[in-house]
A and B are shown apart, each in its own frame.
Chain A
């Protein structure tokens, strides 16, 4: 049962272990520089997933968030089902579903595609509520002023509502991006060679547990700090010129 429980990861890790044992059987000393390189390779995959997942999440957040406020009932219903479904189950279940169940429906995804899809759709559902909340928070008088100025629906959204709603969304988007970064660790379980997967490989090869896991914890934290610093910068930029607009 023991091999069965962790599923595909173990097989993949075992394969990786076999392969590298062939390479470095003669060296009894642990060559940390090689392992650090392995973890950094994983870090690149993690960053790639985070960036691509965030891009998909951003698109889904605006599509579903604005869709939920649509004039058309079917669009509203679709957006609501999407949001409730993806917020109601965890990223882990969605990822496994995308990776193991979709192939039976004839859609075969690579681990990277499944990861980006599941992360983007999941975090996009949370982002949709942020978009909706921020647009709702813009006062009624702004809408009325647009009507008085004879602006169309598109121009009202594009030039009046969204520029004011965006600074309200950014702090929460930053948190969502960090949640997405944390979610990327789960893709290691469908054998994508991200940072967590590589740490497991290092653990399996060296038997050392503290160094690989402590290293990736620090790297994840550094990435999270980078995201929140980037978001603060964006926030300053987006709210430039809005001083005094809202009391």
Chain B
């Protein structure tokens, strides 16, 4: 079968429709992941082992099991216990929790990398714990985290096609439905690949710029 540009232009509006959902899922997923990650990172630092142990195990468990199965779990099991979610919301929660466990590690490393002396100096200058976090620790911990977090969010963007398995009409699903109705697979699936490749190559360039901008913090 030959590559047909006319067909590509014909399916383009459908694919762009799907791309919108893909980007929406990525952005929402990133927000959920950033919040879940912070909660997990703080809970894991808790001095109380009753809190930190289960949270640590939960994070390891999520990171050791496939996102697809977690999505199925959220999509099929939760309705049985009375929680009905739209496919997109279920997908965003799945992405957010899965990548939240990765983000938690980034937060942890960022916070651990702030030298002890900074905490001690904050205490010596009579700052409260809250002030120490807001004015001393976080301003130093966050910038080095940004490239690493962005890296995971790019990875998450690439995983969004999995949402098609729980019937979210994102890019991959639109391409599959076009392919199934027209029996032409080459153009839709290749175009999906191209979209992902182009967007992730652009994000990688953006990531390099972020790294250059924020890596200098280490050298201070």
Interface positions of A (Cβ within 8 A of B): 1-2, 4-7, 9, 84-85, 87-90, 92-94, 96-97, 100-101, 104, 178, 181-186, 188-189, 196, 199-200, 203, 209-210, 213-214, 216-217, 220-221, 224-225
Contact, CB under 8 Å: B77 / A5: no
Among B39-47, B138-146, B156-164, which stretch is in contact with chain A? B156-164
Contact, CB under 8 Å: B201 / A220: no
Let me know if B72 is at the binding interface, CB within 8 A: yes
Let me know if B7 is at the binding interface, CB within 8 A: no
Contact, CB under 8 Å: A185 / B68: yes
Contact, CB under 8 Å: A100 / B179: yes
A sample of 19 cross-chain residue pairs with beta-carbon separation below 8 angstroms, ordered by A number, consists of A4-B181, A5-B164, A87-B200, A89-B193, A92-B159, A92-B161, A93-B196, A96-B189, A97-B190, A100-B185, A101-B186, A101-B189, A101-B190, A186-B66, A214-B77, A217-B69, A220-B64, A220-B66, A221-B65
If A1-B177, A100-B185, A101-B185 touch, whether A225 touches B64 (CB-CB below 8 Å) is: yes
Contact, CB under 8 Å: A5 / B69: no
Let me know if B6 is at the binding interface, CB within 8 A: no
Contact, CB under 8 Å: A213 / B73: yes
Interface size class, chain B: 35 or more
| B52 neighbours in A (Cβ, 8 Å) | none
CB distance from A210 to the nearest CB of B (A): 5
State the CA gap A209–B193 with chains docked (Å). Answer: 32
Query: Taking each of B167, B169, B189, B200, which has the highest tally of chain A beta carbons within 10 Å of its own beta carbon?
Result: B189
State the CA gap A48–B119 with chains docked (Å). Answer: 50
Contact, CB under 8 Å: B169 / A5: yes
Contact, CB under 8 Å: B64 / A89: no
Query: Taking each of B72, B176, B185, which has the highest tally of chain A beta carbons within 10 Å of its own beta carbon?
Result: B72
* Smallest Cβ-Cβ distance to B171: which chain A residue: A93
State the CA gap A201–B70 with chains docked (Å). Answer: 16
| A221 neighbours in B (Cβ, 8 Å) | 61, 64-65
| B192 neighbours in A (Cβ, 8 Å) | 93, 96
Interface positions of B (Cβ within 8 A of A): 1, 61, 63-70, 72-73, 76-77, 80, 158-162, 164-165, 167, 169, 172-173, 176-177, 179-181, 185-186, 189-190, 192-193, 196-197, 200-201, 204
Instruction: Determine the main DSSP class of B at the interface with A.
Output: helix
State the CA gap A181–B66 with chains docked (Å). Answer: 8
If A6-B165, A90-B158, A100-B179 touch, whether A182 touches B77 (CB-CB below 8 Å) is: no
Contact, CB under 8 Å: B68 / A186: yes
| A209 neighbours in B (Cβ, 8 Å) | 76-77, 80
Instruction: Determine the main DSSP class of A at the interface with B.
Output: helix
Query: Taking each of A104, A181, A214, which has the highest tally of chain B beta carbons within 10 Å of its own beta carbon?
Result: A104
Contact, CB under 8 Å: B65 / A97: no
Contact, CB under 8 Å: A213 / B64: no
State the CA gap A214–B37 with chains docked (Å). Answer: 23
| B196 neighbours in A (Cβ, 8 Å) | 88-90, 93
Contact, CB under 8 Å: B72 / A7: no
If A89-B196, A210-B77 touch, whether A217 touches B70 (CB-CB below 8 Å) is: yes
| A7 neighbours in B (Cβ, 8 Å) | 176, 180
Contact, CB under 8 Å: B176 / A84: no
Contact, CB under 8 Å: B186 / A5: no
| A225 neighbours in B (Cβ, 8 Å) | 64
* Smallest Cβ-Cβ distance to A196: which chain B residue: B69
| B159 neighbours in A (Cβ, 8 Å) | 90, 92
CB distance from A181 to the nearest CB of B (A): 8
| B69 neighbours in A (Cβ, 8 Å) | 185, 196, 199, 213, 216-217, 220
If A7-B176, A88-B197 touch, whether A188 touches B68 (CB-CB below 8 Å) is: yes
| A181 neighbours in B (Cβ, 8 Å) | 66
If A2-B167, A7-B176, A221-B65 touch, whether A104 touches B185 (CB-CB below 8 Å) is: yes
